[in-house]
A and B are shown apart, each in its own frame.
Chain A
Amino acid sequence: MSRPSMFLSRRAVLGSFLATVGALPIDATASPEIQLPFRSNPRQRALTTAFPGKGSMILQRARPPLLETPLEVFDHSVLTPNDRFFVRWHWAVIPTEIDAAAFRLRVHGLVERALSLSLDEIARLPQVEIVAVNQCSGNSRGLFEPRVPGAQWAHGSMGNARWTGVRLKDILDRAGVRAGAAQVRFDGLDEPVVPGAPDFRKSLDIDHARTDEVMVAYAMNGDQLPLLNGFPLRLVVPGWYSTYWVKMLSDIEVLDQADEQFWMKTAYRVPDTLGGSVRPGETGYPTVPISRMVPRAFLTNVAPGDTVEAGSPLALRGIAFGGDCGVKAVTLSGDGGRTWLPARLGTDEGRYSFRRFEVVLPMPAVGELSLMVRCTNAQGVVQPLEPTWNPNGFMRGEVETLSVTAT
């Protein structure tokens, strides 16, 4: 039985199939394709270079853009290059022209003095930086079984960058947060197409917003943010899912009570259970807004269905992250989870960063090899073997298994 793999193919190999379905989307006729490792169709996606500031990306949706990073990109460096960093927008009204001199960040609500800060004013605040993983709540949704509706991402709606900017706290302090503040709400320049639709806004508790870690970033890997990743400013919430990392951040509002609007109260909620999991079909469980990430690990130098050499050492490598803290250990199993080998961890770029790892599987025998990598984070949380499941396809965190054949 053939397995889905991340190999590239050309439309040409599908000629006979396409001849039967008629008209093709024009923008995909000549584009290379990629197979995502889902257990059922559709698995095929076009790769596109049509988006500004972006190299070859997996096209999940053109408008508003959903662009996924091919997994092989994570094999090249611990930081994900800006031009390969994933893109996810909720609404199609995205400004395509931003005047750096005219842009203002508004700070208002329960504050001593409302502010309207220019980029230059923000850049003169104490500069801070952090390496942190930005991961979509629905990363790997396409691997959920049973499958669930939503963007059918493989593992590439995540990336790791060095973020440079200023502490959110420093901005809030300039405005002077008044007593009684409960949450801080963030809004970007993007807008819904339809009037009356809920503008995309997210909120953090005031105590979280005032930690040293939450920042307003103006640079990513040393350069200004690509427009599609939120130029000119983006909230960075280390250890938390990227739904909070509001792009094109233009408005910060201090609230005197918990934010009750759609994107907090209805959307982006997960079962209030360990790992956000419930049984398929289960109902009546309490939910909470999604928040901290869970540990994950991925092999990056082999793809499902690859053929490897039997009887000689198999060098494997990949990336792991601890979720909301650092990586303590990564282990690999070449026998479907019966025995585990420790991996050697690469340079520590900080507790919220990807951590590269390497491990050699000594003598793979002829036949199918079931490779599993498992991260234990600094708080001792170990990736479970049991699958994550919830109806929104959020928070996948189980040990990933990848099959290759040794010959």
Chain B
Amino acid sequence: MTRILPLATVLAGLATTSAAEPMPFRSVTVELPMGDRSFPGGQEAEAINSNCLACHSAGMVLTQPRLTRTEWQAEIEKMIHAYKAPVDPSDIPKIVNYLTRMKVDGAEMTHQDVEAVRIQSAFGFEETLKRLRSALEVTGFTIFAVIDHRSAAQSVGLAMPPTTVLVFGNPRGGTPLMLAAPDFALELPLRVLVREDESGRALVVYNAAKTLDGKHDLPAGMAERLAPAGKVIAEAVSASAAAP
């Protein structure tokens, strides 16, 4: 570092320097890095990439800690209302979804393609439900509740395709997770959804164990202990399950 100004004694607060030559100024021209990174995730990142990158690069967003949907929503609204970001209103939920689904990792948030596992059952709706109940019970799970959303809808005069959630679990599997991370009890017992789509096919949807990893401070890798449930579900509704 070159010292071009004379030394001065600092007394209290600001000190007047002794008989200084006026500061000579050099004009400055610099080039600033563009920071042309974009958000990963291809099509799912389209909304965030097209709305957000005009004002800032992706770096600071990708290094946020895990934030809730509400917190991300608040951030996006701050961008729109306080900072006048011209975000297409129809893109707001897409951006919030994208950010909420990001997985927080060592270096930065990474894109997660799949939030829930969705498989098409080889059977019809009722048969799928029956097979799932039986497969889960045979493998040691207890069915705690069967939530029939369609019946509930019909009871208030609303129509809805067949949609049923099974709530199931096994204290032997779940308890160690809740002991390791007490708030993880919010995620248990497990659930599996069976629903009929518009073409009459039965779909089975459940949260993959890995998407629960680290949630509520669950120690890394521990969610894997929930993986067997997914395997039971997938096998129960696959075509090979129909074979004798």
Contacts and interface: CB of A to CB of B under 8 A. Distances in A.
A44 B57 CA distance: 17
A363 B84 CA distance: 58
A146 to B, nearest CB: 9
Contact of B37 (A14, A44, A62): A62
Interface string A110-128: 0000000001100110111
Interface stretch (A16-24, A274-282, A299-307): A16-24
A227 B31 CA distance: 10
Contact of A223 (B4, B59, B65): B4
A195 B13 CA distance: 40
A215 B14 contact: yes
B104 A42 contact: yes
User: Which of A44, A142, A149, A193 has its CB near the most chain B CB atoms (within 10 A)?
Assistant: A149
A92 to B, nearest CB: 6
Interface in A18-42: 21-23, 25-27, 33, 38, 40-42
A4 to B, nearest CB: 10
A164 B17 CA distance: 9
B55 A193 contact: yes
B3 interface: yes
A10 to B, nearest CB: 13
B130 interface: no
B77 interface: no
Contacts, number: 201
A344 interface: no
B26 interface: yes
A27 B35 CA distance: 8
A176 interface: no
B63 interface: yes
A1 B226 CA distance: 24
A221 B1 CA distance: 8
Interface in B77-98: 82-86
B35 to A, nearest CB: 3
A21 B30 CA distance: 34
User: Which of A25, A142, A222 has its CB near the most chain B CB atoms (within 10 A)?
Assistant: A25
Contact of A21 (B37, B40, B59): B40
Contact of B30 (A53, A63, A99): A53
B60 A151 contact: yes
A81 B60 contact: no
Contacts of A92: 55-56
Given A97-B29, A127-B20, A350-B10, A44 B106 contact: yes
Contacts of A100: 25-28
A373 B62 CA distance: 32
A284 interface: no
B66 to A, nearest CB: 7
B65 A262 contact: no
Interface in A212-245: 212-213, 215, 218-219, 221-224, 227-228, 231-232, 238
User: Which of B25, B33, B62, B84 has its CB near the most chain A CB atoms (within 10 A)?
Assistant: B25
A50 B60 CA distance: 17
Contacts of B26: 100, 224
Interface residues of A, number: 85
Please report whether the interface of chain B is mostly helix, strand, loop or mixed according to DSSP: loop
Contacts of B29: 96-98
A333 interface: no
Contacts of A43: 106
Interface in B49-65: 54-57, 59-60, 62-65
A249 interface: no
A38 B85 CA distance: 30
A15 interface: no
Given A129-B8, A193-B55, A45 B1 contact: no
A61 B33 CA distance: 11
A349 interface: yes
A81 B1 contact: yes
B51 to A, nearest CB: 11
Interface in A118-164: 119-120, 123-124, 126-131, 142, 147, 149, 151-152, 164
Contacts of B3: 221-223
A43 B8 CA distance: 42
A228 to B, nearest CB: 8
A142 B10 CA distance: 35
A188 B75 CA distance: 26
B148 interface: no
Contacts of A65: 32-33, 35
Given A62-B33, A197-B85, A223-B3, 4 more contacts: A64-B56, A167-B14, A213-B14, A219-B4
Leading 4 A-B pairs by shortest Cβ distance:
A62-B35, A63-B35, A52-B30, A100-B25
Interface of B: 1-5, 8, 10, 13-17, 20, 22-23, 25-35, 37, 40, 54-57, 59-60, 62-67, 71, 75, 82-86, 104-111
20 contacts: A21-B111, A26-B37, A41-B104, A41-B106, A50-B33, A62-B37, A62-B59, A63-B33, A81-B1, A96-B29, A128-B15, A152-B60, A164-B23, A192-B55, A194-B55, A194-B84, A218-B25, A222-B3, A223-B3, A351-B13
